[in-house]
Structures are given as structure tokens and as C-alpha cells.
A and B are shown apart, each in its own frame.
Chain A
């Protein structure tokens, strides 16, 4: 399979950017999905040891991927403990 692809690439080098962009796009989507699955506090994998990870968020935790204008270290906790 790989030999066929290599032969086609040698005859049509214009396919290389296609591999780069589609491969890169697929890789980035899978990486983001993996990040969401493993690091998102809304997801519970271990019902015994970590049943409700969304309750463990502190006021300075950034759970979003990207912070444009927000300095999360400056936030304070403004609600009572329960």
C-alpha cells in the first residue's frame, strides 16, 4: 500500500501538500478530541476514585483551551464552600 502511494507521489508531487494539510488537520482534530476526553472537567472516567471532577475546579483554573484576554491567575473565589 505504502509502495503504491510512494510511486504515485513520485509521479505526481503535487499530492504532497494534500497529505500534509489533510494529515495535519486530522491529527489536530484527534489531538483536540483526546484533550477534551482526558482533561475536560465535565468528563468522568473513574467513578470510584474521581466521581465528579467538575466539583474540583478552583477559581484560577483555566479549563478552556485558549485564553484571549483573561488573566486567570487574578480571579478570586467569591462563593462559599459547601
Chain B
């Protein structure tokens, strides 16, 4: 989950998010070095006591500061395009879940084998138990088996919403009348939080998404329990 004064991205919980994190570090390092270098040049220029008033141009330095930025841009573009194509690859999902956005809650349907569906409302602040996270907890979590490719079909029943879980590297708009598909693999067990990411009315900030990745046997037990309760 996001933390107070957090500066970087959340820890990755899926291989795609790991790739995105590493690319972010790569790009951030490049722009930090460039900015530090430019700041140094500016400081030396500004604090210099002497000036050479006969410098008009220099072909050599022009070539350097054309070629070097072009090379740096290529070094940023190649990993970026690689990740772009990686995000769109076809995987073979083991499970398909439908996430429907409503005002102001999410509902999840697991209809591959049986008819399992439930709503997921935010836990109100006054009902939180100690240790729970304010504005992030939901009464029913979307439970998935760990290390299995999951396909989530996102749509909405009323207005635009967006289903986002940053630590899984997933964000997909929920458009009424449209099915959007997003796929991911949870590489470790855990609880991953996200929030609705498209303005949808008064309680847009109060419809969180909670994904819980558990081993397969626990997932099967959970789904049998949920089916019994329904």
C-alpha cells in the first residue's frame, strides 16, 4: 500500500511491475545525472570571474551535444518500447474475474466454474479495527491464487470508474457498455491495495480495491466458503 511521505513506486508484486520499476529507476538515474551536470555547468558559468569575449562558435562541442543526447534518448527509448510490447503480450489465464464498477463500490464475479459474485464496499473509518488501513480496506477482498495468470475484465454499471492496483502494475478504465481486459500474475502472496482512478461522483475516493493473493488450496477453500454463504 502507499505510505506517508512515500517518494517512489510501491514494491512490485508482479513481474510486469518489476520491469516498470526497473525502467523507472533507469530513467530517473539518467535524468538525475543530466540535471546535476547542468546545474554544475550553470554554477560554474555564473560564478566565473573571467569571460572569453572571442568565442563565437565551436563545431566540436556542437557535434558532442547533438550526438550524446541522441544516444541517451535511444538508451531510454529501447527499454521503454520493450516494456510497452511486454505489457500487451498474450498470456494464458488460469482464471477470469469480472470487476464491475458501481457508484460507489466494486463487484467481482468469478463465473468460470460456478456462479460466484459479491460486492466490495469500503470499510468506513469508524468501523476500522486496529491495524486496518483507513480508506483502503474493503469488506470483501478479491482473492486470487498466487503465481497464476489472472485475466480481469473491467467494466462499469453506471459511470466511468478505473480499476487500479499499483503494486501489480495494473490500471484499466471501467467504461459502461465496454469490456476492457487486463492480465497479470501475482508473484508473491499478500494483500495489495488500490483506489478507483476515474472521477465518478461524491464517493470516488471511497471505493478502494483490495486484491489478496493466496496459495491455490486457500483460494479453493475461500471460493467454496463464499459459494456456501451466497
Contact = CB atoms under 8 A, between A and B. Distances in A.
Interface of A: 12-14, 16-18, 21, 64-70, 75
Contact of A17 (B66, B82, B89): B66
- 4 closest Cβ contacts across the A-B interface? A14-B62, A14-B59, A17-B66, A70-B89
B70 interface: yes
B46 interface: no
Given A12-B59, A14-B59, A67 B66 contact: no
B67 interface: yes
Contact of B88 (A17, A18, A21, A64): A64
26 contacts: A12-B57, A12-B59, A12-B62, A13-B59, A13-B63, A14-B60, A14-B62, A14-B63, A16-B63, A17-B63, A17-B67, A18-B66, A21-B67, A64-B85, A64-B88, A65-B85, A66-B81, A66-B85, A67-B85, A67-B89, A68-B82, A68-B85, A68-B89, A69-B89, A70-B90, A75-B90
Contacts, number: 36
Instruction: Summarize B's interface: helix, strand, loop or mixed.
Output: helix
Contacts of B86: 68-69
Contacts of A21: 66-67, 70
Nearest to B91: A70
Contact of B66 (A14, A64, A68, A75): A14
Contacts of A75: 90
Nearest to A16: B63
Given A12-B62, A14-B63, 14 more contacts: A12-B57, A13-B59, A13-B63, A16-B63, A17-B63, A21-B67, A21-B70, A64-B88, A65-B85, A66-B81, A66-B85, A68-B85, A69-B86, A75-B90
Pick from A13, A21, A65 the residue with the most CB of B within 10 Å.
Answer: A21
A8 B86 CA distance: 44
Contacts of A68: 82, 85-86, 89
Interface in B45-92: 57, 59-60, 62-63, 66-67, 70, 81-82, 85-86, 88-90
B115 to A, nearest CB: 22
A64 B81 CA distance: 12
Contacts of A17: 63, 66-67, 70
